[in-house]
Amino acid sequence: MAKTKLLIVTHEMSPFLELTKISEITRQLPQAMQEKGLEIRILMPRFGNINERRNRLHEVIRLSGMNIMIDDNDNPLIIKVASIPAARMQVYFLDNEDYFQRKYVFRDKENKFYADNDERTIFFCKGALETVKKLGWAPDIVHCHGWMTSLVPAYIKTSYKNDPTFKNSKVVYSVYENCFTETMDSSMHEKAVMNNMTAEDTSMYVNPNCNTMHIGAITYADAVVLADEKIEADVLKFVKDSNKPTLAFNLTENFENFYNLYEEISNDELVSIV
């Protein structure tokens, strides 16, 4: 029997970038699933404060060289890879000189939210899916962690819905408390439209604040993980009203529950785990 293929998409992961609890979960979860026999791939941005030498990142020439279109501009995508020897896992890093080669992650040295965080998000989400296509690896489950991955569910269910790589993929979205208080560029939902999509497909992302990004992702996801104890009331209500399979927050992270959730949505047994 073929192994279940699990794609983890995240904006942070220990030991490469540790901003919030996301980094610990995205380090522990894939290893736990690998130990259960799943085949794992992990993608994240190569932010400028990730030390390439210490983490032994190197470019993957066969994957690099693509361009990601945003607002009629071509943006080169460079793919790098690093290993976690203790876990026998590889992590793929998406890099771009304009979007990621900065000393800071989402805010500048004055703590000002980057004006192009909307485009950085679009670039990462589009780039992640194009990278997986180029790998020639069709995931059964795509698990997105955090707001910067929130366009991935929309793309998989619209632009990529008939693509052989993703047409059978089930999408899980983890909602975390940590986020941002600002609103990103008001034209983000227009910039985010890609091939085989209409403006209606990104209408959930109008007024792109943190809650909007979560709600947009939940709209397109097959299942939701409440990954924090404190989730905004509007988001929590949206999750409950969606009636989608939901993994409730657990103070002690039980990865067995994740495995069961993956199995259920893979088998289309859409039963909510509470």
Reported as a single tens digit per residue, the pLDDT across 132-183 is 999 999 999 999 999 999 999 999 999 999 999 999 999 999 999 868 999 9
pLDDT for res 207: 92
Which letter does DSSP use for residue 3 in this model? P
Which letter does DSSP use for residue 17 in this model? B
pLDDT for res 269: 44
pLDDT for res 229: 86
Which of these CATH numbers, 3.40.640.10, 1.10.760.10, 3.90.1150.10, 3.40.50.2000, describes 5-266? 3.40.50.2000
pLDDT for res 179: 82
Q: How far is CA 120 from the centre of its chain?
A: 13
> pTM of the prediction?
0.94
Percent of the chain with pLDDT over 90: 74
pLDDT for res 270: 45
Confidence band of 252 (pLDDT split at 50, 70, 90): low
Query: Vertex 38, ends 36 and 42: CA angle to 5°?
Result: 120
Are the C-beta atoms of residues 174 and 227 closer than 8 Å to each other? yes
What distances in angstroms separate CA 151 from CA 37, 89, 120, 218, 258, one per listed residue? 28, 25, 11, 10, 22
Which letter does DSSP use for residue 266 in this model? H
User: What sign results for the dihedral spanned by CA atoms 111, 193, 144, 231?
Assistant: positive
Kindly report, residue by residue over 31-83, the tens digit of the pLDDT. Answer: 999 999 999 999 999 998 888 888 898 998 888 889 998 988 899 999 999 99
- How far apart, in whole angstroms, are the C-alpha atoms of residue 179 and residue 209? 9
Confidence band of 86 (pLDDT split at 50, 70, 90): confident
- Please tell me which of 145-149, 228-232, 265-269 the model is most confident about, judged by mean pLDDT: 145-149
Please report how many Cα atoms fall inside a 13 Å half-sphere around the Cα of residue 252, on the Cβ side: 1
**E strand or H helix that includes residue 208:** none
pLDDT for res 273: 42
Peptide bond between residue 85 and the one before it cis (omega within 30 degrees of 0): no
Strands (E), the chain: 5-10, 39-45, 58-59, 66-70, 73-84, 89-95, 141-145, 170-175, 223-226, 246-247
Listed residue (263, 224, 256) closest to 4, CA to CA = 263
Residue-range domain boundaries for the chain: 5-266
| Encoded tokens for 222 | 């097959």
More confident residue, 190 or 65: 190
pLDDT for res 266: 86
More confident residue, 129 or 196: 129
- Output the DSSP codes for 22-36: HHHHHHHHHHHHHHT
Q: What are residue 247's phi and psi, to 5 degrees?
A: -95, 115
pLDDT for res 251: 59
